[in-house]
A = this chain, B = another copy of it.
Protein backbone atom coordinates (compact mmCIF):
# COMPACT_ATOMS: atom_id res chain seq x y z
CA UNK A 1 0.00 0.00 0.00
CA UNK A 2 1.29 3.49 -0.90
CA UNK A 3 1.38 6.04 1.92
CA UNK A 4 -0.25 8.53 -0.47
CA UNK A 5 -3.35 6.35 -0.42
CA UNK A 6 -3.90 7.10 3.26
CA UNK A 7 -2.69 10.70 3.37
CA UNK A 8 -0.90 12.19 6.35
CA UNK A 9 -3.78 12.15 8.82
CA UNK A 10 -4.96 8.79 7.62
CA UNK A 11 -1.51 7.36 8.12
CA UNK A 12 -1.26 8.63 11.68
CA UNK A 13 -4.71 7.28 12.44
CA UNK A 14 -3.83 3.99 10.81
CA UNK A 15 -0.73 3.65 12.95
CA UNK A 16 -2.12 4.84 16.25
CA UNK A 17 -5.90 4.41 16.39
CA UNK A 18 -5.80 1.32 18.61
CA UNK A 19 -3.21 2.57 21.05
CA UNK A 20 -4.82 2.58 24.49
CA UNK A 21 -3.17 4.68 27.21
CA UNK A 22 -2.25 2.64 30.26
CA UNK A 23 -1.35 5.48 32.62
CA UNK A 24 -4.08 7.36 34.45
CA UNK A 25 -2.30 10.65 33.79
CA UNK A 26 -2.69 10.27 30.03
CA UNK A 27 -5.85 12.31 29.61
CA UNK A 28 -5.54 12.66 25.84
CA UNK A 29 -3.03 11.12 23.47
CA UNK A 30 -2.75 11.20 19.68
CA UNK A 31 -5.29 13.28 17.79
CA UNK A 32 -5.11 16.90 18.85
CA UNK A 33 -2.56 19.72 18.74
CA UNK A 34 -1.15 18.48 22.03
CA UNK A 35 -1.20 15.49 24.27
CA UNK A 36 -2.79 16.26 27.67
CA UNK A 37 -1.15 14.71 30.69
CA UNK A 38 -1.96 15.03 34.35
CA UNK A 39 0.67 14.65 37.02
CA UNK A 40 -0.08 14.59 40.71
CA UNK A 41 1.57 16.81 43.26
CA UNK A 42 5.05 15.94 44.50
CA UNK A 43 6.12 14.63 41.11
CA UNK A 44 9.04 15.30 38.87
CA UNK A 45 8.41 15.19 35.12
CA UNK A 46 11.38 13.89 33.10
CA UNK A 47 11.75 14.69 29.40
CA UNK A 48 14.33 13.26 26.99
CA UNK A 49 14.64 13.38 23.22
CA UNK A 50 16.73 11.60 20.59
CA UNK A 51 17.10 12.11 16.88
CA UNK A 52 18.03 9.09 14.76
CA UNK A 53 19.10 9.57 11.14
CA UNK A 54 19.56 6.96 8.45
CA UNK A 55 23.18 6.41 7.48
CA UNK A 56 24.34 8.01 10.72
CA UNK A 57 22.62 6.07 13.50
CA UNK A 58 21.38 3.07 11.56
CA UNK A 59 21.91 1.21 8.29
CA UNK A 60 18.72 -0.22 6.85
CA UNK A 61 20.72 -2.76 4.87
CA UNK A 62 21.05 -4.84 8.01
CA UNK A 63 18.67 -3.35 10.57
CA UNK A 64 15.10 -4.63 10.21
CA UNK A 65 12.60 -1.79 10.69
CA UNK A 66 10.89 -3.50 13.61
CA UNK A 67 14.21 -3.72 15.44
CA UNK A 68 14.93 -0.12 14.55
CA UNK A 69 11.64 1.00 16.09
CA UNK A 70 12.30 -1.07 19.19
CA UNK A 71 15.79 0.30 19.61
CA UNK A 72 14.73 3.91 18.96
CA UNK A 73 12.27 3.65 21.82
CA UNK A 74 14.73 1.83 24.09
CA UNK A 75 17.35 4.55 23.68
CA UNK A 76 14.87 7.05 25.11
CA UNK A 77 13.46 4.76 27.80
CA UNK A 78 17.02 4.16 28.94
CA UNK A 79 17.50 7.92 29.48
CA UNK A 80 14.49 8.00 31.80
CA UNK A 81 15.84 5.06 33.84
CA UNK A 82 19.20 6.82 33.96
CA UNK A 83 17.45 9.48 36.07
CA UNK A 84 15.99 6.76 38.31
CA UNK A 85 12.58 7.59 36.83
CA UNK A 86 9.68 5.74 35.27
CA UNK A 87 8.84 6.32 31.58
CA UNK A 88 5.25 7.45 31.05
CA UNK A 89 4.68 8.99 27.60
CA UNK A 90 6.47 9.21 24.27
CA UNK A 91 6.09 11.28 21.10
CA UNK A 92 7.43 9.92 17.83
CA UNK A 93 8.18 12.01 14.74
CA UNK A 94 9.14 10.31 11.51
CA UNK A 95 10.42 11.76 8.23
CA UNK A 96 10.42 9.33 5.36
CA UNK A 97 11.11 9.28 1.65
CA UNK A 98 8.94 7.73 -1.01
CA UNK A 99 10.73 4.40 -0.96
CA UNK A 100 8.96 3.51 2.30
CA UNK A 101 5.58 1.81 2.27
CA UNK A 102 2.83 1.72 4.87
CA UNK A 103 3.94 -1.81 5.71
CA UNK A 104 7.43 -0.52 6.42
CA UNK A 105 6.02 2.03 8.85
CA UNK A 106 3.85 -0.61 10.44
CA UNK A 107 6.95 -2.65 11.11
CA UNK A 108 8.71 0.34 12.60
CA UNK A 109 5.71 1.07 14.81
CA UNK A 110 5.39 -2.56 15.82
CA UNK A 111 8.86 -2.35 17.32
CA UNK A 112 8.19 1.04 18.90
CA UNK A 113 4.96 -0.15 20.43
CA UNK A 114 6.38 -3.38 21.73
CA UNK A 115 9.16 -1.50 23.51
CA UNK A 116 6.67 0.99 24.95
CA UNK A 117 4.26 -1.73 25.98
CA UNK A 118 6.99 -3.62 27.83
CA UNK A 119 7.79 -0.44 29.74
CA UNK A 120 4.20 0.82 30.31
CA UNK A 121 4.87 3.94 28.22
CA UNK A 122 2.09 5.60 26.18
CA UNK A 123 2.75 6.90 22.67
CA UNK A 124 0.85 10.20 22.92
CA UNK A 125 1.68 12.08 19.75
CA UNK A 126 4.11 12.87 17.01
CA UNK A 127 4.53 14.11 13.50
CA UNK A 128 4.95 12.35 10.19
CA UNK A 129 6.54 14.10 7.25
CA UNK A 130 7.87 13.51 3.79
CA UNK A 131 11.65 13.50 3.52
CA UNK A 132 13.72 14.11 0.41
CA UNK A 133 16.37 11.74 1.63
CA UNK A 134 16.55 8.98 4.20
CA UNK A 135 14.55 7.94 7.22
CA UNK A 136 14.54 10.32 10.20
CA UNK A 137 13.21 9.33 13.62
CA UNK A 138 12.83 11.83 16.45
CA UNK A 139 11.53 10.64 19.80
CA UNK A 140 10.74 12.50 22.98
CA UNK A 141 10.08 10.54 26.16
CA UNK A 142 8.52 11.86 29.35
CA UNK A 143 8.92 10.15 32.67
CA UNK A 144 8.16 10.75 36.32
CA UNK A 145 9.88 10.27 39.62
CA UNK A 146 9.46 11.58 43.15
CA UNK A 147 11.59 14.60 44.05
CA UNK A 148 13.78 12.57 46.40
CA UNK A 149 14.33 9.63 44.04
CA UNK A 150 15.43 11.39 40.84
CA UNK A 151 19.18 11.04 40.24
CA UNK A 152 21.36 13.35 38.14
CA UNK A 153 24.96 13.06 37.00
CA UNK A 154 26.22 15.55 39.51
CA UNK A 155 25.93 13.93 42.95
CA UNK A 156 28.95 11.60 43.07
CA UNK A 157 31.21 12.01 46.13
CA UNK A 158 34.78 10.84 46.75
CA UNK A 159 34.85 7.24 48.05
CA UNK A 160 31.52 6.39 46.39
CA UNK A 161 31.56 3.04 44.63
CA UNK A 162 31.25 3.04 40.83
CA UNK A 163 28.87 0.37 39.58
CA UNK A 164 27.74 -0.81 36.16
CA UNK A 165 25.00 -3.20 35.12
CA UNK A 166 25.29 -6.07 32.66
CA UNK A 167 28.37 -6.22 30.48
CA UNK A 168 30.05 -3.83 28.06
CA UNK A 169 31.32 -3.83 24.49
CA UNK A 170 28.95 -6.47 23.11
CA UNK A 171 26.80 -4.03 21.10
CA UNK A 172 29.93 -2.62 19.50
CA UNK A 173 31.12 -6.10 18.61
CA UNK A 174 27.71 -6.82 17.13
CA UNK A 175 28.11 -3.76 14.92
CA UNK A 176 31.55 -4.94 13.74
CA UNK A 177 30.03 -8.30 12.86
CA UNK A 178 27.20 -6.71 10.88
CA UNK A 179 29.60 -4.42 9.04
CA UNK A 180 31.85 -7.35 8.14
CA UNK A 181 28.96 -9.44 6.82
CA UNK A 182 27.68 -6.45 4.87
CA UNK A 183 31.05 -6.10 3.13
CA UNK A 184 30.95 -9.79 2.23
CA UNK A 185 27.45 -9.48 0.83
CA UNK A 186 28.19 -6.32 -1.13
CA UNK A 187 31.22 -8.06 -2.64
CA UNK A 188 29.00 -10.98 -3.71
CA UNK A 189 26.59 -8.46 -5.21
CA UNK A 190 29.33 -6.76 -7.21
CA UNK A 191 30.64 -10.08 -8.51
CA UNK A 192 27.14 -11.16 -9.53
CA UNK A 193 26.65 -7.92 -11.45
CA UNK A 194 30.02 -8.42 -13.17
CA UNK A 195 28.87 -11.89 -14.24
CA UNK A 196 25.83 -10.21 -15.80
CA UNK A 197 23.33 -11.40 -13.19
CA UNK A 198 20.62 -9.12 -11.88
CA UNK A 199 21.03 -8.04 -8.22
CA UNK A 200 17.39 -9.04 -7.59
CA UNK A 201 18.19 -12.62 -8.57
CA UNK A 202 20.57 -13.00 -5.63
CA UNK A 203 19.20 -14.40 -2.38
CA UNK A 204 18.62 -11.73 0.29
CA UNK A 205 21.32 -10.81 2.80
CA UNK A 206 21.78 -14.06 4.78
CA UNK A 207 24.82 -13.51 6.93
CA UNK A 208 26.38 -16.20 9.05
CA UNK A 209 26.08 -15.23 12.70
CA UNK A 210 26.09 -18.68 14.29
CA UNK A 211 27.50 -18.58 17.79
CA UNK A 212 27.39 -14.77 17.74
CA UNK A 213 23.66 -14.29 18.33
CA UNK A 214 24.20 -12.56 21.65
CA UNK A 215 26.37 -9.84 20.08
CA UNK A 216 23.79 -9.24 17.37
CA UNK A 217 20.99 -9.02 19.90
CA UNK A 218 22.92 -6.48 21.93
CA UNK A 219 23.38 -4.32 18.83
CA UNK A 220 19.95 -4.74 17.29
CA UNK A 221 17.73 -5.19 20.34
CA UNK A 222 19.14 -3.43 23.40
CA UNK A 223 17.09 -3.53 26.59
CA UNK A 224 16.68 -0.52 28.89
CA UNK A 225 17.52 -1.60 32.44
CA UNK A 226 14.28 -1.06 34.33
CA UNK A 227 15.13 -4.16 36.34
CA UNK A 228 18.19 -2.43 37.81
CA UNK A 229 16.21 0.68 38.77
CA UNK A 230 13.64 -1.56 40.44
CA UNK A 231 16.30 -3.65 42.21
CA UNK A 232 17.95 -0.50 43.56
CA UNK A 233 14.60 0.75 44.88
CA UNK A 234 13.87 -2.64 46.45
CA UNK A 235 17.27 -2.62 48.14
CA UNK A 236 16.60 0.89 49.43
CA UNK A 237 19.57 2.33 47.53
CA UNK A 238 19.45 5.77 45.94
CA UNK A 239 22.47 6.22 43.64
CA UNK A 240 24.36 9.49 44.17
CA UNK A 241 24.82 9.85 40.38
CA UNK A 242 23.64 7.85 37.38
CA UNK A 243 23.90 7.84 33.57
CA UNK A 244 23.19 5.32 30.84
CA UNK A 245 25.97 4.09 28.60
CA UNK A 246 25.25 5.23 25.08
CA UNK A 247 28.68 6.56 24.07
CA UNK A 248 30.89 4.13 26.01
CA UNK A 249 31.93 3.68 29.65
CA UNK A 250 34.86 6.07 29.35
CA UNK A 251 32.79 8.98 28.02
CA UNK A 252 29.99 8.40 30.55
CA UNK A 253 32.16 8.15 33.68
CA UNK A 254 33.83 11.37 32.56
CA UNK A 255 30.42 13.05 32.41
CA UNK A 256 29.74 11.99 36.00
CA UNK A 257 33.18 13.12 37.17
CA UNK A 258 32.95 16.48 35.41
CA UNK A 259 29.46 17.24 36.64
CA UNK A 260 30.19 16.00 40.16
CA UNK A 261 33.64 17.64 40.24
CA UNK A 262 35.41 14.41 41.14
CA UNK A 263 38.01 12.03 39.81
CA UNK A 264 37.66 8.25 39.52
CA UNK A 265 39.59 5.01 39.52
CA UNK A 266 38.24 2.25 37.29
CA UNK A 267 39.82 -1.22 37.45
CA UNK A 268 40.20 -2.85 34.05
CA UNK A 269 39.88 -6.35 35.52
CA UNK A 270 36.52 -5.41 37.02
CA UNK A 271 34.93 -4.26 33.75
CA UNK A 272 32.26 -6.88 32.96
CA UNK A 273 32.67 -8.60 29.59
CA UNK A 274 30.71 -11.37 27.94
CA UNK A 275 32.64 -14.36 26.63
CA UNK A 276 31.39 -13.71 23.07
CA UNK A 277 32.62 -10.12 23.23
CA UNK A 278 36.10 -11.27 24.17
CA UNK A 279 36.15 -14.02 21.52
CA UNK A 280 34.99 -11.65 18.78
CA UNK A 281 37.54 -9.00 19.79
CA UNK A 282 40.30 -11.60 19.54
CA UNK A 283 39.04 -12.77 16.14
CA UNK A 284 39.09 -9.16 14.90
CA UNK A 285 42.43 -8.47 16.58
CA UNK A 286 40.95 -5.68 18.71
CA UNK A 287 41.64 -4.81 22.36
CA UNK A 288 38.53 -5.89 24.22
CA UNK A 289 38.97 -3.27 26.96
CA UNK A 290 39.05 -0.52 24.33
CA UNK A 291 35.81 -1.89 22.94
CA UNK A 292 34.22 -1.96 26.40
CA UNK A 293 35.42 1.56 27.23
CA UNK A 294 34.58 3.25 23.95
CA UNK A 295 32.24 1.00 22.00
CA UNK A 296 29.00 2.49 23.21
CA UNK A 297 25.35 1.54 22.62
CA UNK A 298 25.40 -0.79 25.62
CA UNK A 299 22.47 1.02 27.30
CA UNK A 300 23.62 -0.30 30.64
CA UNK A 301 23.38 1.88 33.74
CA UNK A 302 26.50 3.39 35.27
CA UNK A 303 25.99 4.75 38.79
CA UNK A 304 27.69 5.64 42.03
CA UNK A 305 26.59 4.69 45.54
CA UNK A 306 27.99 5.56 48.99
CA UNK A 307 30.64 3.14 50.24
CA UNK A 308 28.27 2.23 53.09
CA UNK A 309 25.99 0.58 50.51
CA UNK A 310 28.70 -1.87 49.45
CA UNK A 311 27.09 -5.04 50.69
CA UNK A 312 23.60 -4.15 49.52
CA UNK A 313 24.70 -3.15 46.01
CA UNK A 314 27.02 -6.15 45.71
CA UNK A 315 24.03 -8.38 46.41
CA UNK A 316 22.05 -7.09 43.41
CA UNK A 317 22.07 -9.48 40.49
CA UNK A 318 23.98 -8.30 37.38
CA UNK A 319 25.51 -5.23 39.04
CA UNK A 320 29.29 -4.94 39.12
CA UNK A 321 31.49 -2.67 41.23
CA UNK A 322 34.24 -1.49 38.90
CA UNK A 323 35.97 1.26 40.85
CA UNK A 324 35.47 4.25 43.08
CA UNK A 325 35.13 8.01 43.00
CA UNK A 326 38.13 10.13 44.04
CA UNK A 327 38.94 13.77 44.65
CA UNK A 328 39.15 15.70 41.38
CA UNK A 329 42.92 16.31 41.55
CA UNK A 330 43.56 12.56 41.43
CA UNK A 331 42.30 12.49 37.83
CA UNK A 332 40.17 10.01 35.93
CA UNK A 333 42.22 6.87 35.95
CA UNK A 334 42.02 3.37 34.51
CA UNK A 335 44.06 0.87 36.52
CA UNK A 336 45.16 -1.79 34.03
CA UNK A 337 45.49 -5.52 34.71
CA UNK A 338 49.28 -5.14 34.99
CA UNK A 339 48.95 -2.34 37.56
CA UNK A 340 49.85 0.51 35.20
CA UNK A 341 47.58 3.54 35.19
CA UNK A 342 46.09 5.32 32.21
CA UNK A 343 44.14 8.55 31.99
CA UNK A 344 40.62 7.89 30.72
CA UNK A 345 39.68 9.75 27.55
CA UNK A 346 36.27 10.20 26.03
CA UNK A 347 37.57 8.27 23.03
CA UNK A 348 40.34 5.79 23.82
CA UNK A 349 42.96 6.45 26.44
CA UNK A 350 46.70 6.93 26.63
CA UNK A 351 49.44 6.22 29.14
CA UNK A 352 49.96 8.82 31.87
Give the interface SS of chain A, mostly helix, strand, loop or mixed: strand
Contact call B93/A51, Cβ cutoff below 8 A: yes
Interface digits, A19-53 against B, CB 8 Å rule (1 contact, 0 not)? 00000000110011111111111011111111111
| Residues from chain B with Cβ under 8 Å of A163 in the complex | none
| A79 CB within 8 Å of chain B | yes
A140 at the interface (CB under 8 A from B): yes
Mark contacts of A69-102 with chain B using CB atoms, 8 A cut-off: 1 yes-contact digit, 0 otherwise: 0000000000110110100010101110000000
Residues of B within 8 A of A56 (CB): 95, 129-132
Q: Which residue of B lies closest to A8 (CB)?
A: B247
Residues from chain B with a CB closer than 8 A to the CB of A131 are 53, 56
Verify A33–B243 contact, CB threshold 8 A. Answer: yes
Would you give the shortest CB distance from A301 to chain B, in whole angstroms?
10
Q: A147 within 8 Å of B by Cβ? A: yes
Binds B, one of A110-118, A120-128, A211-219, A326-334: A120-128
In the complex, residue of chain B having the shortest beta-carbon distance to the beta carbon of A258? B9
Chain B residues positioned under 8 Å from A53 (CB to CB): 95, 129-132, 136
Neighbouring B residues of A35 by C-beta, 8 Å: 46-48
Identify A47's interface contact among B51, B80, B89, CB under 8 A: B89
Contact B140 A82 (CB under 8 A): no
Asked whether, in the complex, the Cβ of A38 is within 8 Å of the Cβ of B44, the reply is yes
Whether B33 and A83, one on each chain, are in contact in the complex, defined by CB atoms closer than 8 angstroms, is yes
| CB closest chain-B residue, reference A50 | B127
What is the copy number of this chain in the assembly? Answer: 2
**Size bin of chain A's contact surface:** 35 or more
CA distance A133 to B32 in the complex (A): 31
Q: Is the CB of B93 within 8 A of A34?
A: no
Q: A41-B40, A45-B37, A143-B34 are in contact. Are A95 and B129 (CB under 8 A)?
A: no
In the complex the two chains form, is B55's CB within 8 Å of A132's CB?
yes
B39 touches A39 (CB 8 A): yes
Instruction: Tell me how far the C-beta of A8 lies from the nearest C-beta in chain B, rounded to whole angstroms.
Output: 9
Q: List chain B residues, Cβ under 8 A from A40.
A: 41
A91 to B48, CA, bound (A): 8
Q: Which residues of A from 170 to 218 have beta carbons under 8 Å from B?
A: none
Does A142 sit at the interface, judged by CB under 8 A?
yes
Report 10 cross-chain contacts, Cβ distance below 8 Å, ordered by A residue.
A35-B46, A36-B83, A36-B150, A39-B39, A48-B125, A49-B93, A49-B125, A49-B138, A132-B134, A133-B134
A residues whose Cβ falls under 8 Å from a Cβ of B: 27-28, 31-41, 43-57, 79-80, 82-83, 85, 89, 91, 93-95, 124-127, 129-134, 136, 138, 140, 142-143, 147, 150, 152-154, 243-244, 259
Besides the contacts A34-B143, A50-B127, A56-B132, what 16 more A-B pairs have beta carbons closer than 8 Å? A33-B48, A33-B80, A33-B82, A34-B79, A34-B82, A34-B85, A37-B46, A45-B45, A49-B91, A50-B93, A53-B132, A57-B129, A91-B140, A133-B133, A133-B134, A138-B138
7 closest cross-chain pairs (CB), A and B:
A138-B138, A51-B93, A133-B133, A41-B41, A34-B46, A140-B140, A33-B82
